[in-house]
Amino acid sequence: MLGTLGVWYAITRWGGLPGFLLPSPAAVATRFAAAVRDGTLPRHTLVTLTEVLAGLALGVLAGTTLGYMLAKSPRAERLLSPYIVASQAIPIVAVAPLLIIWLGPGRPSKILISALIVFFPILIGTIAGIRSVPADLRDLMRSLRASRSQTLRLLEVPAAAPHFLGGLKIGSTLAVIGAVVGEFVGADEGLGFLVNLGRGLYDTALVFSALLVLVAMALGLYSLSALLERRTLRWREVQKDH
């Protein structure tokens, strides 16, 4: 990090670039502090964070629900897989304008865009996790006359957890991308809007400030997902020790 800052400072100090092309670290820090003081950065950060968290929750709910259904029904998977794969072949940047037109430039469209980009890794992780359950353990649960809910809670959820949490780590960062893409296409609030505003005004320091917050947001969500993974899968480490 310090090396990156050093190179950045050297380029702006001796590279001869104008400030609107590449502001110095000090200029970005000054603009960042000013945007925090006048409330601009906190307000737009809260908007984007709300969209990201709502989109992540919606994508996780849809991905796990459909993933479980497809994992339990190979016939349904054969029928729906072509449509799911086709939907992922279309770049989210191309879909976003349609969603903005249909739902308007408000937050619901950004939440849906974020959910769509989160949906696929959660879906795949859920399907892989449910199907990773060994057949002999399923036979054991049947021999014990376990109900469907007991099998889900005691066998399938623990087995699927590593795959699901791996997808969650990916999805948590993709949720930020989805919300910002929606804000780029059409919005009057949010960090994506702030980047567009700074670009239009040639306020590059403001663009850098918004990008730094987006990076921190993505890293924070990824770290929380990784912490959840470590806490949830602690039992695997105990098994390895024994």
Query: Burial of 25 by CB count in 10 Å (0-12 exposed, 13-18 middle, 19+ buried)?
Result: middle
Q: Convert the pLDDT of each residue in 96-127 to its tens digit.
A: 988 988 998 889 999 999 999 999 999 999 99
Please tell me the predicted confidence (pLDDT) of residue 240.
Answer: 54
pLDDT number for residue 226: 92
Mean pLDDT over 154-175 rounds to 89
Distance CA 162, CA 237 (A): 13
More confident residue, 13 or 23: 23
Q: What is the structure's pLDDT at 18?
A: 76
- CA gap 113, 92 in Å, rounded: 7
Tokens of 164: 């699901």
- Is residue 128 exposed (0-12), middle (13-18) or buried (19+ Cβ within 10 Å)? middle
Looking at residue 38, the DSSP 8-state letter turns out to be: T
Token code pair at residue 110: 């950004």
pLDDT at 82: 85
C-alpha span between 90 and 116 (Å, rounded) = 11
pLDDT of residue 242 exceeding 60, the answer is: no
Is residue 106 within 8 A of residue 193, CB to CB? The reply is: no
Q: Which are the contacts of 17, defined by CB distance < 8 A and separation ≥ 6?
A: 11
| b/e burial code for range 191-203 (CB count within 10 A of at least 16 → b) | bbbbbbbbeeeeb
**Is the pLDDT confidence value at 215 over 80?**
yes
Chosen CATH of 41-232 out of 3.20.20.70, 1.10.3720.10, 3.40.50.920, 2.60.40.3140: 1.10.3720.10
Per-residue pLDDT, averaged over 59-78, amounts to: 91
Pairwise pLDDT comparison (41 vs 86), residue with the higher score: 41
pLDDT at 239: 53
Cβ burial of 4 (10 Å; 0-12, 13-18, 19+) is exposed
Structural domain boundaries in the chain: 41-232
DSSP class per residue in 47-94: HHHHHHHHHHHHHHHHHHHHHHHHHH-HHHHHHHHHHHHHHHHS-HHH
Q: Judging by beta carbons within 10 Å of its beta carbon (0-12, 13-18, 19+), is residue 238 exposed, middle or buried?
A: exposed
Per-residue pLDDT at 189: 92
What's the sign of the alpha-carbon dihedral 179, 220, 174, 203? positive
Confidence band of 68 (pLDDT split at 50, 70, 90):
very high
% of the chain at pLDDT higher than 70: 96
The answer to whether the beta carbons of residues 12 and 22 sit under 8 Å apart is yes
**Tell me, what's the pLDDT at 236?**
61
The pLDDT confidence band at residue 233, using thresholds 50, 70 and 90, is: confident
Judged against a pLDDT cut of 60, whether residue 241 lies above it is answered with: no
Question: What's the pLDDT at 121?
Answer: 92
189-205 residue pLDDT tens: 999 999 999 998 889 99
Percentage, residues of the chain above pLDDT 90? 48
The overall average pLDDT reported for the chain is: 88
Give me the residue label for tokens 């940047």. Answer: 93
- Of 14-23, 49-58, 91-100, 160-169, minimum mean pLDDT range: 14-23
Q: Which two tokens stand for residue 142?
A: 């049947």
